Structure 1
């Protein structure tokens, strides 16, 4: 038997249950991963609480939970390619990650070797948050000496975006609540409070203007960037829905990240140029508490489940 987080009705963290199910095994063309860490994302709790949204991704109840994971390959099925038993890996499995075991078909587009020197907790944060940030920074064509406005800078994606932008040589202004200001300064960003009047506060901080913007939460930052005269081609959103304001581009998250984006990201982590703040870790038995903390959107970095 193995443990898996499941829910049978939609709702808040209270619907999540840790159950024992028959242990899955790798079939032909598949590998099985013994999961060691699961990184939570805001979308996880959206899937488990909003049936209409879940249906857009083919999810129905009963369902598993979570997407990002890291662990070790412990079974390789006949004709499976690219991995062997003992490989440390990280990847994504829609609504299946929070479990003792995940089975993935090969060749796998969302399963990668974990570089030596990167731990499982950090690796589990890369499939969505890390790759989304890398794709967003690439999308706006950021150049050295520019100033970029990043909305939601202290969140799971934001901590990567801020540091990647700094590595590109840009100055970063990041929107956040005042309680996260010191945290953002440690990452190299100049913090600014979100809310009405954002463009005026940014204008006061950026004497030379803002060249580009990344909106990681809603549309407020993108709208402010338009007011500040940032060209639409230099603004991207990840959570504005299919029609972002003013015709700005929408990044599809990690799906838009290239292999080169991921390689640059892991290389920067290994070099110590990017830190991956783990805000909190919980054993899988405390999945409800972990999801409640994540859903509050006040954590500085990533919330990780350990197994």
Structure 2
């Protein structure tokens, strides 16, 4: 029996617009104009004789019919994409890799030249993610995440444990003359919106009260680290994000680093192929070569 389906391009345009919430975002993903997306959606509405979007163009809302269609269409397109990847040339092609933006800028990109030199026929296409539950991660070949290390982690490759420590510019360190972590309260402490519990997590690991003080809260970890390099205050940073800055003398870590209890893990899609295995092996090798974080320089006195 002949399949009774609307044009595939119209279905793809609708799925992208419905999933991303904006015609312009769908146009960017599919490399077409917003007008083309709008025309494809209108064509689909005529074909199905149903309304799929309502509300304003700036904030389109899904109709009940659109929600029903999207719930089936997205998994179907994901399965098609996975099948195409599974039978494509395993030795070359594109790998879609997602991770937090600061990790990408401070750790992954500075080392990626090595993988490119070893495997020039494999393109690593990077995408940033800001949430651990970002639905777009399901479409990635590999996602690098920070989480607790479970005893059973199928399709996951452990990289390294996370260690946290206060960091600041050398000139600011000389001026403040910090002796112990008890000197931190009242100082300018920098934070990131994505990790507002970082100071509390570090203080708990060190066995002291959470230090409090004035200071800016930045949208991204990267901005907080750049603020610390510029002397704006003291940031609490994972060792792997600031190791290069410390080795280059742009930052100092007066109290060393202690374990946060979290680990960086590379989570792979279920359908593995050779190029994904090559990238995972390379990631593990890079993680193994990474310099160990300096241990806390002194025991933490008990807080009053």
Q: Give the structure with the larger helix fraction.
A: 2
Same fold (TM over 0.5): no
Larger radius of gyration: 2
TM-score between both structures, scaled by the size of structure 1: 0.28
TM-score between both structures, scaled by the size of structure 2: 0.28
Q: Give the structure with the larger strand fraction.
A: 1
